[in-house]
Structure 1
Amino acid sequence: MPVKFTFDAGRRRSTNGMPMARLSGAIAFALLCSGSLEVHAQPAVGTPPAQAQDQAASTASATGAKSPKKKPAKADDKQTKDLSAVVVTGIRASVEKAQDIKYDADTFVDSLSATDIGALPDRSVTETLSRIPGVTIDHFLSQGDPEHFSAEGNGVQVRGLTQVRSELNGRDIFSANGGHALSFQDVPSELMSGVDVYKNQTAEMIEGGLGGTVNLRTFMPFDFQGQKIAASASENYGDFSKKYKPSASVLYSNRWNTSLGEMGFLVDVADSRLTTRTDGLFVRPFFKNAAGIWVPRGADWRTLQYNRKRDGYYLAFQWRPNDDLDFFATAFQSKYHEVWDEDAIFVSNDPTQVVVDASQPSKINGGVFQSGRLTQPGGVPMGTDIRASDSHSKTTDFSTGMKWRLGDKTDLSSSVQFVKATTRSLDSTVALGTNVPYIDVALNGSSPPRIGVDTGFTGNSANYYWGFTMDHQNQNYAKELAWRADIDHRFSSGFLQGVKAGVRLTNRYADNIDTGYNWMPVFQTWMQGWALPGGALPGLDLNGTVNSSLVHLDTFKNFYKGDAGIPGAFYAPVLSTALGYPASYAAIHDAAIPFYSCCYANPYQPTLLDASHTNIQHEKTYAAYAMLDFGIDEANLTGNVGVRAVKTRNSADGFLVYPNQALAPYLGAGQSSPINARNEYTDVLPSLNVKWEFAPDWITRFAFSKAIARPDFSQMQAYQILNAAVVSGYTPPPGTTALPIDKLTLTGSSNSNPYLTPMKADQFDLSLEWYFDQDRGGMAWINLFHKGIRDYFRNESRFVTYPGVDGNNYQYLITRPVNIGKATIDGAEIGWNQFFDFLPVKGFGMSTNYTYIRSRTHVPNDTTAVPVDTDGSTYGNLPADGLSKNSLNVAGFYEHGPWQVRLAYNWRSRYLLSIGPNGYNGTDNNIPWKLPVFADAYGQLDGSIFYAFSDHLKLGLEMNNLNNAEQRTIMYQNASGKHTTSWYVNDTRYALTLRASF
């Protein structure tokens, strides 16, 4: 049944006197490409106006969200007609309520809510967040990985920053991913009643959101007047994967008056499954060959099958023993199981040996290859693999709390929370090798290239050999205990309207095991002539167990949906060789031992989940805040000013690995020593928020606050390897057993630093909001923002003192992340919502929003984020990674009678994805190179059509990627120019959905 909202008779009215038809025309031209579909949780069906505010306040108390504030009465309210009997449903109710929320808010916040119970506008929380102005998502499986597309998106950024705080009902929620935040794709959207994104802060808000704070909301029993039953069932289908997968959810809620007071109970369960397919083509970086022609290293292609299962369970209990006390308890659990496998063929050659076959037609433009046949002496070494990822994650939250009203003016509240999260994953690759005679490539600009190989060669299993194995394992555990207490006192009159104060304590522990990618060769071309006698590369049949029965011929049926042709079939290992780790790895490597003449003749040993891969972190925080609410009723001005102070104590357990240099025994002999690194810092975070309704229906806001984002635990691992090398150019005299320290170069490098402190920002917001037709969903606004960021996490080389085994201290030049550098982010968000009730055909509406962001960075002595081209040339200033200059949402909807139709388009402009990711880094001609890779502009069209058979039953079709969007990545090279380097296509997804509500 559509969610219903009953209007309060005292709701504000438009008083400017302009007819709506003329007014909409006046703003439509200026704001056609801007606006926001913003929605928020509605009061329960049938809730009388007098009870709606109390109900919302009760829910806020239970969930930890802020209690709504009543609008001041207006003189002209008595002149308007009573609309208390008007009932609005679905999308319109959501849009209108969102405008009330935005109007009432005491800082900058945008929201989205389910139009039906368990029905956010999109099939995933990540996709829902991308509808909110200033929020963007990646369409890759992991941040900084340009080689694996994600259908549902990943990597939420707010105003271009990935440092986003995640909350569930105003309290901590996180995944065991080595960081502080939640992987939003883990959470079932069916359990959510809504999503709030806070762009600025008040003193009472928990610290940690440098870009913003995302709060996921769930229903509570007192949200409903009595018994509530809601259920949904979907059948999901992808037109590329050709697979059907079910989804279902059910909610039951009720409340009772008992001798112990009023009690309510709610249970919500969801199960969602999805299968998608992605095909991709790649053109690799360009190198200048001996003929002076810039040629790509090669070209390759792959197909990926993706499966995920998302389960959620939620219980909530509320108890109101009397009018002065409220108690609540909730239990929430989300489980996410992701499995994907990929067949790929990829170049693994020496790029400097690639030539253009002069016997075949070719096209060279300005010294840069455009089309032709690429080859090299002995053939082009390529790999074919099966890569599989199997990941399980689970997050469990238990929370309880109370609110005690001490008279009419003072509230005391307190809550306790325990969160536990686990992640276990295996990423496994088994690859073959083959030396193909040639690769035909025809570049078509931004269109997919034409790639071809000798199919007679690649279709013959005799032309392959076992290449390598590579495993990557994660086993993470995290838990947190948190307690907070708050007091809220309201004054009867005067400029100071209230005071709030509170404390919050947390104790978090994280134990993360990350083995990294452990590449191990079986047979490689560089083994020929030394490790392999006679230089022969053995075929697939190594013994009776490891043989050609473990491979299959991949013909790439319907490759790229038929829009790029089939580059060619090839043999690759079967899926069980990847998922059978470690037994399958041992079988392959042990079978290869008889073919070696040296060096690799040891039985296979699996990667150990030992202390060298373990990162143990213990973090405690102690926070206190005080905040004053102020206002001038006669001027319709309100605001708050406050300060939050938080002390953070962190300890990290790890190991120091001493150098293993025979000529420096006093430094060590490669042994490990346990270390415990302790870090402590205090942050003082002031904030100011002001709202002024300077004319009827016109509001301006201003906000200032200081914000922080603590480093991820993965960036704070206490693990340092020390190295000692003889000074370059110096030859020790014969018989030397120990060199003096001035004849040694002492260095070390690490991807982590346990002494990092938070990134910090001064952030400002200024907005102008026009509620020109709030009763009918009409609003326009513009919001300007600025963030001044400092203490970036970037690598720098500094001298650090470590002890030697002789008891003396020595200085090492250590390269690792430190707090250094500054950045500024400036931007604007523009929005417009309106229902076109002035049209002859009723029910049409539109909501749009546009965001512009500009960034500037200054990071001195950065040794890791500096790109280098394949010829050794460097680049100028690049934008901040993950930040699109422009992003846009346009949503159109029709809602009339039993029909509800929605079309939504989401687009973001090009942005820097990564510098030197896999496939875009290396060392050739003694030049270490790493290229910047950008994600090209991407836009996706989604929609839904629902028909309500009654107030209780609705059937609809939900659709994603209706425009069959193509994701591309771009690499920039100084001499050879701009190149589109990859192309991806994915499913258009459909979900036939039945919803029932009673």
Structure 2
Amino acid sequence: MTETTLQAGCSSAGRALPLARLSAAIAMGLLLYAPLVAHAGPVSSTPAAQDQGQPAAKAAKKKRAKADAKEVKNLQAVVVTGIRASVEQAQDVKRYADTFVDSVSATDIGALPDRSVTDTLARIPGVTIDHFLSQGDPEHFSAEGNGVQVRGLTQVRSELNGGDSFSANGGRALSFQDVPPELMSGIDVYKNQTADMIEGGLGGTVNLRTFMPFDFQGQKIAASVSENYGNFVKKYKPSGSVLYSNRWHTRLGEMGFLVDVADSQLSTRTDGLFVRPFFKNASGTWVPRGADWRTLLYDRKRDGTYLAFQWRPSDNLDFHATAFQSKYHEVWNEDAIFVSNDPTQVMVDASQPSVVNGGVFQSGRLTQSGGMPMGTDIRASNSHSKTTDFSTGMKWRLGTSTEITSAVQFVKATTNSLDSTVALGTNVPYIDVALNGSSPPHLGVDSDFTGNPANYYWGFTQDHQDQNYARELAWRADIDHTFADGFVQGVRAGVRLTNRYADNIDTGYNWVPVFQTWMQGWALPSGALPGLDLNGTINSSLVHLDTFKNFYKGDAGVPGAFYAPVPSTALGYPGSYADIHNAAIPYYIPGNGYDAPYQPTLLDAAHTNIQHEKTYAVYAMLDFGVDDAHLSGNIGVRAVKTRNAGQGFLVYPNQALAPYLGTGQSTPISARNEYTDVLPSFNVKWEFAPNLLARFAFSKAIARPDFSQMQAYQILNAGVVSGYTPPAGTTVLPIDKLTLTGTSTSNPYLTPMKANQFDLSLEWYFDQDRGGMAWVNLFRKSLSNYFRNESEFVTYPGIDGNNYQYLITRPVNVGKATINGAEIGWNQFFDFLPVKGFGMSANYTYIRSRTHVPNDTTAVPLDTDGSGYGSLPADGLSRDSLNVAGFYEHGPWQIRLAYNWRSQYLLSIGPNGYNGTDNNIPWKLPVFADAYGQLDGSIFYAFNRHLKLGLEMNNINNAEQRTIMYQNGAGKHITSWYVNDTRYALTLRATF
């Protein structure tokens, strides 16, 4: 592979498409469509382009087609009035879908069952979420959930009304927690595919549905207002939403307009305790490195606006236009005290009582010569994200058998964030640790010592910045023709083109020391470290005493009081950083490398990842069936060509003895990649007995690499061959005396992960008109082209014009995996009971995986003694997950209790706090999330058909999230414990 200078296509010119220009383009498109009016065909209330990828619309269409055989309810007007209606509509979506789909619908307008989209998704079989702020981070809990996986895979495609939707986060999918649930009418999760579906969902596809004006018979007004309260953070926060929709008959045809706005705020608090990895000390005892305490205060504001317009100039022509925008502002700050010591120097204080069982420490006092170095910090994150979607489309019916649809979509997303940490240092005399099995441990320190500001020094600063921008323009056109008789019941074909651009700046985590114990004697004079007062400019007024009030809700011992920087020192970046570092300069020994003025991290080209991607897709699909045998299905193929161009830099080696390779300079590069995927699909459904269905599906799916995995940025290194000493006076070494290497976290030549996926189900609709059903679904995914690190020789040019081979370690397509599982579900309302209104829903998912990735160097797990591990499960995959919900809906009352649980799963290998090199031994521990279950509920009372008052509750059971580390010598230990708020929302809903 070679990399060449970029020729075209990836400049930042034209980054923004003004709203006025786009609105004019949409209006022009509608005018151009208007002359196509014909005069035949049935009237459909389904939005023009929303038939694409919307099982709710397809379910309604198929039910209408069967109306002559059985009386069914009319789903053309989506009027959701309660739990039963929501369950029945989700059941219809599942039964009449073209492939395997599970769905959740709003119980009322603007009222999904949960107060976040991620929590709602977790109710769907096969879908799991984690409760950490970011995937692979075991140190920061998330109250509303994060990290959606479908059947154990994170490669999940996200859609809004059947079109692309994404966040500007270096990936391809939407951050579902950013989306206001109040704007949603339902959520559909596809487990398999049809040829007309957009490619990219390896685990599955999540489609978020909104209302359209023609979904209602006439004027519709709905509003809600809530007051949210967290019983741990003890803060009240408001939220509210308003929807207005209407439709009119005019001389130009029927028109409809809808506007929906939502605003939601939330505050939470999370307390966490940590026991760090165990190391074998000089006496042969496995002793933990130490312990940490953390309190995190979290605030978020989520806003959404949605506009929709529909126009039906005649019975055979529909137009629609929508505008959707979601904004998410997240601010959190964390006070923490954490170990920063040499773990191999930790000892058990023999003068204090202690318990050692089988050579493994259980309780006692941990000490270290000269005190145990710890840090106390304020870490603050301030993040803004926004996604805007403009779509327009048409549907033209030619006679009674043919429909032509076309849609244009423009999506723009931005994210700007600062993650900033300012820390003090202190050398505590000891840490008391008493491990209590699954209960929170008892941890303590000398409070007199930690409560004295004279025992602290300025430790370090660390900044991390993201500045991301992404946009996409997409167009698709489809034709659907049905046949009145015969085995072949219809044919569909279409084309879709996209042009996507992403400009992501990620600075990484830039740790800069102020004073550290290891700097004494060479960068700092020996003796005591400088105190908090530096040159009269930086002083103790910039710190505060954290007493950890009501720590862990009183269920764990109070660790004591600590001094830590105030939040403004973190959020004041870069000015606050410069003040601290510049004030420290006079305390350094001159010439130590730290006595230069502070320079903030630059948002420069070295941190920039520019990607330009175009796709060209076509598909053809045949619908077949035998009505007398109640057999139906489809077979089709989708072909898509993908072209990528990435801009970046190649950094040459800076080896004095090999100037012909380079002198550390960098040069712009462009990496281009092109590939074509052919994706067949087959779906068949057979109702072999009344209300008993068997269903089978096969399809081939892909998931393209995230843009963060495709950055064109490579640093090259040249070192002298190990064991070779150049002769005196040597100025240039030959190439055979050098080792040429490079390491990168990205590879612009990655191709998609692929999967052959199979589904087989048995579905029993034993009470079709009342939401009663049961099902079992078996599935298998055979994956290939995994993204894993591997070392391979790659040729790069030297500055002398010759080419040289470097051993590059970077992500490549290698390895295989299989995922097998089963989903079992049951819904029923117990109308046969003397007391009416009770119902229940339950589903269980079982998943097992097996991977084979040769020569994988992504994250090889190693214990702290250097010993290895056997095979580990795929990260993020729980073997078992369960949802159980009970309902009562009768008269004015509506009550719901829902429990969501997932079993243990691998979070990450070697995340922060669980990796290092000590005694020249590198170690990376696997960290697992323990099983977690949360109980939520709501109770509403309807005063009349217009007004409803209720109480919504999250985390009623005060669930505790734990993480686990497995060590070969020290055994299994819980390594962290978290508690969060029980959250309440008093909600008033009105509908007219």
1:993 partner amino acid: T
2:388 corresponds to 1:403: no
Q: Residue deviations 1:282-335, cap 9 Å, x none?
A: 000000000100000001111000000000000000000000100000000000
Which residues in structure 2 correspond to 1:279-294 (within 5 Å)?
A: 279-294=271-286
Indicate how the Cα distance of structure 1 residues 519 and 838 shifts in structure 2: closer, same or farther if over 3 A, else same: same
> CA shift at 1:76, angstroms?
7.8
Task: Indicate the residue corresponding to 1:592 in structure 2.
Answer: 584
Task: Indicate the residue corresponding to 2:655 in structure 1.
Answer: 661
Q: Is the 8 A contact 2:53 2:197 kept in 1?
A: no
Q: Is the 8 A contact 1:56 1:223 kept in 2?
A: yes
Which residues in structure 2 correspond to 1:846-865 (within 5 Å)?
A: 846-865=840-859
> CA shift at 1:822, angstroms?
0.3
Indicate how the Cα distance of structure 1 residues 374 and 54 shifts in structure 2: closer, same or farther if over 3 A, else same: same
In structure 2, distance between residues paired with 1:774 and 1:566: 56
In structure 2, distance between residues paired with 1:397 and 1:573: 41
Q: Is the 8 A contact 1:59 1:222 kept in 2?
A: no
In structure 2, distance between residues paired with 1:56 and 1:678: 41
Q: 1:55 aligned to 8, 30, 45, which one?
A: 45
2:335 corresponds to 1:353: no
Task: Indicate the residue corresponding to 1:67 in structure 2.
Answer: 58
Other structure's SS at 1:408 match? coil
Q: 1:257 aligned to 245, 249, 257, which one?
A: 249
Task: Indicate the residue corresponding to 1:561 in structure 2.
Answer: 553
Task: Indicate the residue corresponding to 1:25 in structure 2.
Answer: none
Q: Is the 8 A contact 2:151 2:847 kept in 1?
A: yes
In structure 1, distance between residues paired with 2:275 and 2:192: 42
> CA shift at 1:536, angstroms?
2.9
Indicate how the Cα distance of structure 1 residues 75 and 656 shifts in structure 2: closer, same or farther if over 3 A, else same: closer
1:289 partner amino acid: N
Q: Is the 8 A contact 1:61 1:403 kept in 2?
A: no
In structure 2, distance between residues paired with 1:771 and 1:982: 45
Task: Indicate the residue corresponding to 2:526 in structure 1.
Answer: 534
Q: 2:464 aligned to 472, 475, 480, which one?
A: 472
Which residues in structure 2 correspond to 1:674-685 (within 5 Å)?
A: 674-685=668-679
2:214 corresponds to 1:222: yes
Q: 2:290 aligned to 294, 298, 306, which one?
A: 298
| TM-score, length-scaled by structure 1 | 0.93
Task: Indicate the residue corresponding to 2:972 in structure 1.
Answer: 978
2:317 corresponds to 1:325: yes
Other structure's SS at 1:67 match? helix
The number of equivalent residue pairs is 946
Task: Indicate the residue corresponding to 1:934 in structure 2.
Answer: 928
> CA shift at 1:55, angstroms?
2.9
Q: Is the 8 A contact 1:619 1:651 kept in 2?
A: yes
Q: Residue deviations 1:56-88, cap 9 Å, x none?
A: 47684499665333246599858x999999x99
Task: Indicate the residue corresponding to 2:695 in structure 1.
Answer: 701
Q: Which moved more, 1:576-585 or 1:542-551?
A: 542-551
> CA shift at 1:102, angstroms?
1.2
Which residues in structure 2 correspond to 1:513-532 (within 5 Å)?
A: 513-532=505-524
Task: Indicate the residue corresponding to 2:795 in structure 1.
Answer: 801
In structure 1, distance between residues paired with 2:300 and 2:860: 36
Other structure's SS at 1:123 match? coil
Q: Residue deviations 1:783-806, cap 9 Å, x none?
A: 000000000000000000100010
Task: Indicate the residue corresponding to 1:450 in structure 2.
Answer: 442
> CA shift at 1:535, angstroms?
3.6
Q: Is the 8 A contact 1:892 1:902 kept in 2?
A: yes
2:660 corresponds to 1:670: no
Q: Residue deviations 1:233-275, cap 9 Å, x none?
A: 0000000000000000000000000000000000000000000
In structure 1, distance between residues paired with 2:68 and 2:949: 45
In structure 1, distance between residues paired with 2:74 and 2:355: 75
Indicate how the Cα distance of structure 1 residues 867 and 571 shifts in structure 2: closer, same or farther if over 3 A, else same: same
2:88 corresponds to 1:96: yes
Task: Indicate the residue corresponding to 1:963 in structure 2.
Answer: 957
Q: 1:125 aligned to 112, 117, 120, which one?
A: 117
2:354 corresponds to 1:362: yes
Other structure's SS at 1:581 match? coil
In structure 2, distance between residues paired with 1:974 and 1:151: 32
Q: Residue deviations 1:656-707, cap 9 Å, x none?
A: 0000000000000000011000000000000000000000110000000000
> CA shift at 1:54, angstroms?
3.6
Indicate how the Cα distance of structure 1 residues 505 and 59 shifts in structure 2: closer, same or farther if over 3 A, else same: closer
In structure 2, distance between residues paired with 1:743 and 1:610: 35
Q: Residue deviations 1:906-940, cap 9 Å, x none?
A: 00000000000000000001111000000000000
Q: Is the 8 A contact 2:45 2:76 kept in 1?
A: no
> CA shift at 1:534, angstroms?
2.7
2:457 partner amino acid: Y
Calculate percent identity across the aligned residue pairs. Answer: 84
Q: Is the 8 A contact 1:62 1:327 kept in 2?
A: no
1:759 partner amino acid: M
Other structure's SS at 2:304 match? strand
2:45 partner amino acid: Q
Q: Residue deviations 1:746-791, cap 9 Å, x none?
A: 0000000000000000000000000111222210000000000000
Task: Indicate the residue corresponding to 2:386 in structure 1.
Answer: 394
Task: Indicate the residue corresponding to 2:487 in structure 1.
Answer: 495
Gaps in structure 2 of 5+ consecutive residues: 1-40
Which residues in structure 2 correspond to 1:128-167 (within 5 Å)?
A: 128-167=120-159
Other structure's SS at 2:526 match? helix
Task: Indicate the residue corresponding to 2:596 in structure 1.
Answer: 602
2:680 corresponds to 1:686: yes
Gaps in structure 1 of 5+ consecutive residues: 1-50
In structure 2, distance between residues paired with 1:614 and 1:58: 39
Indicate how the Cα distance of structure 1 residues 81 and 993 shifts in structure 2: closer, same or farther if over 3 A, else same: closer
Other structure's SS at 1:590 match? helix
1:762 partner amino acid: N
Task: Indicate the residue corresponding to 1:274 in structure 2.
Answer: 266
2:518 partner amino acid: W
> CA shift at 1:53, angstroms?
9.4
Q: Is the 8 A contact 1:531 1:596 kept in 2?
A: yes
Indicate how the Cα distance of structure 1 residues 230 and 754 shifts in structure 2: closer, same or farther if over 3 A, else same: same
Task: Indicate the residue corresponding to 2:425 in structure 1.
Answer: 433
Indicate how the Cα distance of structure 1 residues 92 and 675 shifts in structure 2: closer, same or farther if over 3 A, else same: same
| TM-score, length-scaled by structure 2 | 0.94
Task: Indicate the residue corresponding to 2:235 in structure 1.
Answer: 243
2:369 corresponds to 1:377: yes
2:322 corresponds to 1:336: no
* Aligned-CA RMSD value: 1.8
Q: Is the 8 A contact 2:609 2:711 kept in 1?
A: yes
> CA shift at 1:133, angstroms?
0.2
Other structure's SS at 1:102 match? helix
Q: Which moved more, 1:770-779 or 1:643-652?
A: 770-779
Q: Is the 8 A contact 1:59 1:220 kept in 2?
A: no
Q: 1:792 aligned to 772, 782, 786, which one?
A: 786
Q: Is the 8 A contact 1:794 1:864 kept in 2?
A: yes
Task: Indicate the residue corresponding to 1:28 in structure 2.
Answer: none
Task: Indicate the residue corresponding to 1:172 in structure 2.
Answer: 164
> CA shift at 1:446, angstroms?
1.2
Q: Is the 8 A contact 1:851 1:887 kept in 2?
A: yes
Q: Is the 8 A contact 1:620 1:649 kept in 2?
A: yes
2:746 corresponds to 1:738: no
1:918 partner amino acid: N
In structure 1, distance between residues paired with 2:540 and 2:526: 23
Task: Indicate the residue corresponding to 1:891 in structure 2.
Answer: 885
Q: 1:485 aligned to 462, 469, 477, which one?
A: 477
2:819 partner amino acid: I
> CA shift at 1:338, angstroms?
0.2
Indicate how the Cα distance of structure 1 residues 77 and 67 shifts in structure 2: closer, same or farther if over 3 A, else same: closer
Other structure's SS at 2:62 match? coil
Q: Residue deviations 1:342-395, cap 9 Å, x none?
A: 000000000000000000000000000000000010000000000000000000
Q: Is the 8 A contact 1:476 1:511 kept in 2?
A: yes
Indicate how the Cα distance of structure 1 residues 837 and 59 shifts in structure 2: closer, same or farther if over 3 A, else same: farther
In structure 2, distance between residues paired with 1:605 and 1:668: 26
Q: Is the 8 A contact 1:165 1:214 kept in 2?
A: yes
